[in-house]
Amino acid sequence: MSFKKDTGKPRFEYDEAVEEALCFGWVDSKPNKLDAERTLLWFAPRKSGTGWSRPNKIRVDRLTQAGLMAEAGLRKVELAKADGTWSKLDAVEDLIVPEDLGQALASYPQASENFNLFPRSVKRGILEWIVSAKTPATRAKRVTETATLASRNERANQWRPKTSRDA
């Protein structure tokens, strides 16, 4: 929990907190609004098999060079490099559309064009969502959903408020 900047109350800086967590093999969540004055950022030990974002990899390199990484953090990095999760998100960060998604987008009118016009952050989120699927069936479902929605110029994997029919 941290106070928002404009409250003038004691707070921690996001980058400092994330770097401290990385040193010990932990990872942060997405920040959430707690109330009018406070935000909540959850930290937890990094799970095996999770991809490493480019910003976190840059932070780890800098922290390692400065000699600030703890043994637990270095162990997580070594494991990630050994099991491939260190580079799992590289294509996502570069917005490289995987072959299966490219084929699905090409099979729907306007899907490729619409997808390419989505903001970078949206495309990145969709690509990570697809790449992080745990089973081939889940990945195929996500690819199909992405292409179908893109053909209607709608974005997959986006939070939408529940409607009365969803309840």
Q: Dihedral of the CA atoms 53, 30, 80, 50 (nearest 10)?
A: -110
Given this model, what pLDDT does residue 20 score? Answer: 96
Give CA–CA dist 101/70, Å, rounded: 39
Residue that wins the pLDDT comparison between 3 and 105: 105
Provide the pLDDT confidence category of residue 5 given band limits of 50, 70 and 90: confident
Looking at the chain, list the stretches that DSSP marks H as alpha helix, in order from N- to C-terminal side. Answer: 14-23, 54-65, 71-83, 90-93, 99-106, 111-117, 120-131, 136-151
pLDDT at 164 > cutoff 80: no
* Cβ proximity of 69 and 23 under 8 Å: yes
Residue that wins the pLDDT comparison between 159 and 96: 96
Given this model, what pLDDT does residue 70 score? Answer: 98
Residue-wise pLDDT tens digits, 35-81: 888 888 899 999 988 999 999 999 999 999 999 999 999 999 999 99
Q: How many CA atoms lie within 13 A of 106 on its CB side?
A: 7
Note the Cα 121 to chain centre separation in Å: 10
Residue-wise pLDDT tens digits, 82-121: 999 999 999 999 999 999 999 999 999 999 999 999 999 9
pLDDT at 129 > cutoff 70: yes
Residue matched to tokens 């495309």: 123
pLDDT at 167 > cutoff 60: no
